[in-house]
Chains A and B, each alone.
Chain A
Amino acid sequence: MKFLLVEDNIDLANAIASRMRLDGHVIDHAEKLEDASAFVATGDYDLILLDINLPDGDGRSFLEHHRTTDLDTPVIILTARSQVSDRIGSLDLGADDYVTKPFDHAELEARCRAVLRRKSGNAKTTIEVGGVVFNPVAGHLTVGGEAVTMRNRELRLLELFLNAPGQIFSKNKLADRLFSYDEDVSDNAIEVYIGRLRKHLSASDLRITTLRGLGYRLDHDG
C-alpha cells in the first residue's frame, strides 16, 4: 500500500511512518499542504492521512479541494481533539474516517484497513503465488479457485508471511504483530493460528514450515 501522510509534527510523522513501513507500506510524508498537493499530483496513493492544523492552512480546505478532482482515494483525518463539530465537518467534506490524536497505532491500523476494505476492489493489491490469490485489503483469499473465509488475525498472519517469503518468524515476533500488548498471549495461541492457516493453505503449494527452536517460515513447493 502507498500512503500519504500530511502531518507537521515531524516526530509523530516519523513514528507513524516507521511503524507503517514495518507493515510493508510505502509512506510519503508532507509537512505542509503545498507539499501534499505536489505529492498528490504526482503519486497515486491508496490512502491519505491528513492532519487538520497545518502551517499553511486547514486540512479540511485541502480535503474539499481534493475531493473536487479525486473522488476515490480514501482520506482519514487526524484531529487533535474530539470535537463533535470538527468530526461532522470533516465527514461532510468527504473524509472516510477520523482518528483523534493521540491515537494508538493499532487503532490507526484498524481504521486504515476498514476504510481500505470499504473502498477496495483494486486488483493491484492482489498477491498471486503458489495457487493462492490473496487480497490483503479486502481480506479475500482464494485457494485453487475456492474462496476461503478468514478471521482478521489469520489474515494478518498470512499477510506477514507473504510480505516476507522465506523469512523466519519467531513465535514472539508473530505474537507482537498479531496481538496488542495488553493481551496475555500463550505460545499455544500462536500454534492455534498457525494450525488454522496451514488448514486454509492445505490445497495450495504454500506450506508453513516449523523450525524447531527458531519459529516458522513460509515455503513454496516446486
Chain B
Amino acid sequence: MTDSVAVSGSLRNRLMLTLIGGAAILALLVFFAVRNYAVQLAQEGQDNILAASATSMLDAATFRDGVVELDLPYSAFSMLSTAADDQVFYAIRQDGAFLSGYADLPFSESQMFQTDQVRGSDVRKISVSRTLIGANSRTEIQVVLAQTQDALSETLDRISRNAALLGIGFFALAAALSFWATAATIGQLGNLTTSVTRRGPQDLSPFAKPVPREMAPLVTSLNSLMGRLDQSLSQSEDFIAEAAHRVRTPLATVRSYAEATLQRVDKEENREAMRSMVKAIDESSRAAGQLLDHAMITFRADHLELEDIDFVDLVHDLVQRMTPIAEMKDLTLTLKGDARAPFSGDPVLVQNAVRNLIDNAMKYGPRESSIEIEVTAKDRPQVTVSDQGPGFPTDEIEILTARFQRGANATDTIGSGLGLTIARDVAAAHGGEVVLKNQTGGGACVTLSL
C-alpha cells in the first residue's frame, strides 16, 4: 500500500493556529485593558489633586466690605509638585475680571476638567468657581488651575511597559499550553496510527484498547471494516478451496473412466487420444490443486500459525507419506542429515513447500534413481532436495522461481510450475529463501531454508 493519501491541511496546524491566534488576541486585549485602566486611574489621581489644590485656593478667598482678599496658600502649590517638575499655571478672576496669574488661561463654564494646551504644553486643567456673599453684595471668584502631564506620561509609560510584559507573558504561557494541548490531542491519533501500523497485515482482530470518546466512531468503523475484510478473506479461501475441489472431483472421475476405457481399447490411434486426454486431465487437476495450495499459502502467509516443530520430524513424516508414490516409479527417497532441527513455523505451509520440492524431484528424476533429502540445522533449519535428473537450464535458474515459469526442458512433464513459487513464498513467509543449483555430477539441487 504505497498509494499516497490526498492531504488537505493539517489538524495540528489548524488547532495550533486557532489556539495561538486566540491567545494573541487575548494578550492584546489584556494589554489594552490594563493600560486603559491605569491611564484612567492616573488621570483621576491628578484630577483629585488639582481639585484639592483649586479648592484650597478658593477657600483662601475672603470677601470683606466689597473687597476680595485672596492670599494664595503655599500648600495649594506644594501639593502639586511632582518628581518630573511639572509646570503649574493658574488664573484667578472676579466676576470675569482678571485678578492674578496667567491671563491667557481661560475659564471653562461647561467642563470642570479639561485637557488643553497652554503655551505649547499639554496640560490638565480645572475650572472652579465660588460665590462669596458679603453684607450687601455677592461676587463670584473663578479659579483656573492647570498642570503639565510629564509625570503622568512617565507613569503611563511605565505602566504600559508592565502591561506589555504581562501581555507577552500571558501569550507565551497560552502558546505553550496550546502546544501541549495540540500534542496531547494529536497524540491520541498518533497512538491509533501506531497500533494500526504495528499489528501489520496479519492481525484483523478489532481494536480493544480504550480510545477517547471522539475517536470511538472512527475506531468502530475501522473495526467493522477489518471484520468485513477478515470475513471476505476467509470466504475467498473457502471459495478457492471449494472451487478447486469441485473442479478436481469430476476430473478425477473422468480420469478414472478414461483410464479404464484405455485398457479396453485396442486401436492405437484411439489409445493415443485417450492418453492425451488423461494427460490433459492430470495437468488441469494438478494445476487446480496447486492453485488451491498457492491461494492457501498466500492466505496463511498473512496468518502464520506458528508452532514449535522439529523440522526433521516434519520432513521424515512427509518422506514416509510420499514413499508409496515414489515406489510406484521405482524411485528411492533417502533422508539424511541432523537428528533434530527445532524451529517455530507454520507446519501446514512448511509441509506443503517441502512436498512440492520432493514432487518436483520425483517428476524430473530418472527411473530407478534416488532422491536425496537432507535436513540440517546449522545456522537455520534447511532442507536440500537433490535428484539425478537433467538439472535446471543454467540460464533460467534466476527466473525459474517466478510464478508459472517452467524450465524450457520441462515441456514433457506435467506441472503448472507453481511448485517452486509455493516453496519460495513459504520460505519468504518464514524469513528464509529457496536456492536453486545444479550439482556438479548432474541433477537439480534445491535448498529451502527457514
A interface residues with partner B (beta carbon < 8 Å): 9, 11-12, 15-16, 18-19, 21-22, 80-81, 84, 101-107, 109-111, 113-114, 151-153, 170, 172-173, 176-177, 180-184, 189
Contact = CB atoms under 8 A, between A and B. Distances in A.
Interface stretch (B221-229, B322-330, B441-449): B322-330
Interface in B248-300: 248-257, 259-260, 262-263, 266, 268, 271, 275, 278-279, 282, 285
B260 A18 contact: yes
Interface of B: 241, 245, 248-257, 259-260, 262-263, 266, 268, 271, 275, 278-279, 282, 285, 323-325, 327-330, 347-348, 363, 367-368, 412-414
B282 A181 contact: yes
A182 B284 CA distance: 13
Contacts of A189: 367
B269 to A, nearest CB: 11
Given A172-B268, A182-B413, A184-B412, A9 B249 contact: yes
Most buried by B among A15, A80, A170, A189: A15
B255 A81 contact: no
B400 to A, nearest CB: 19
B257 A15 contact: yes
B193 to A, nearest CB: 37
Contacts of A107: 324-325
B348 A105 contact: no
Nearest to B274: A176
Given A107-B325, A110-B328, A182-B279, A19 B260 contact: yes
A113 B253 contact: no
Given A102-B285, A189-B367, A114 B252 contact: no
B325 A173 contact: no
Contact of B251 (A102, A151, A172, A173): A102
Contacts of B249: 9, 12, 101-102
B245 A102 contact: yes
A65 B193 CA distance: 56
A18 B257 contact: yes
A211 to B, nearest CB: 14
B155 to A, nearest CB: 92
A113 B245 contact: no
A74 B205 CA distance: 44
Given A9-B249, A103-B252, A176-B262, 10 more contacts: A15-B256, A101-B248, A109-B328, A110-B328, A111-B325, A172-B268, A176-B275, A180-B328, A181-B275, A181-B279
Contacts of A102: 245, 248-249, 251-252, 285
Contacts of A11: 250, 253
A172 to B, nearest CB: 6
Given A15-B252, A19-B260, A22-B260, A172 B328 contact: no
A47 to B, nearest CB: 14
Q: Which of B268, B271, B327 gathers the greatest number of chain A CB atoms within 10 Å? A: B327
B214 to A, nearest CB: 45
A114 B324 contact: yes
A117 to B, nearest CB: 9
A110 B324 contact: yes
A78 B348 CA distance: 19
Nearest to B266: A170
A182 B363 contact: yes
Contact of B285 (A16, A21, A104, A180): A104
Contact of A105 (B241, B259, B363): B259
A110 B245 contact: no
B368 A151 contact: yes
Closest 6 CB pairs of A and B: A15-B256, A102-B252, A114-B324, A102-B248, A182-B414, A110-B324
Contacts of A173: 263
Contact of B324 (A15, A105, A113): A113
B259 A12 contact: no
Contact of A110 (B250, B285, B327): B327
A19 B275 contact: no
Contacts of A19: 256, 259-260
Nearest to B296: A82
A125 to B, nearest CB: 18
A105 B256 contact: yes
Contact of A106 (B262, B275, B279, B328): B328
12 contacts: A9-B249, A12-B249, A12-B253, A15-B252, A15-B255, A15-B260, A113-B324, A152-B329, A170-B266, A176-B271, A180-B328, A182-B412
Nearest to B348: A84
B330 A152 contact: yes
Contacts of A104: 252, 255, 282, 285
A107 B321 CA distance: 11
B241 A81 contact: yes
Contacts of A111: 324-325
Contacts of A181: 275, 278-279, 282, 414
Contacts of B271: 172, 176
A153 B245 contact: no
A152 B245 CA distance: 31
A84 B347 contact: yes
Contacts of B241: 81
A215 to B, nearest CB: 11
A151 B330 contact: yes
Contacts of B253: 11-12, 15
B360 to A, nearest CB: 12
Contacts of A16: 256
A138 to B, nearest CB: 13
B279 A22 contact: no
Contacts of B325: 106-107, 110-111
A113 B251 CA distance: 23
Nearest to B263: A22
Contact of B252 (A12, A172, A180, A184): A12
Nearest to A110: B324
A81 B245 contact: yes
Contacts of A182: 279, 282, 363, 412-414
Nearest to B347: A84
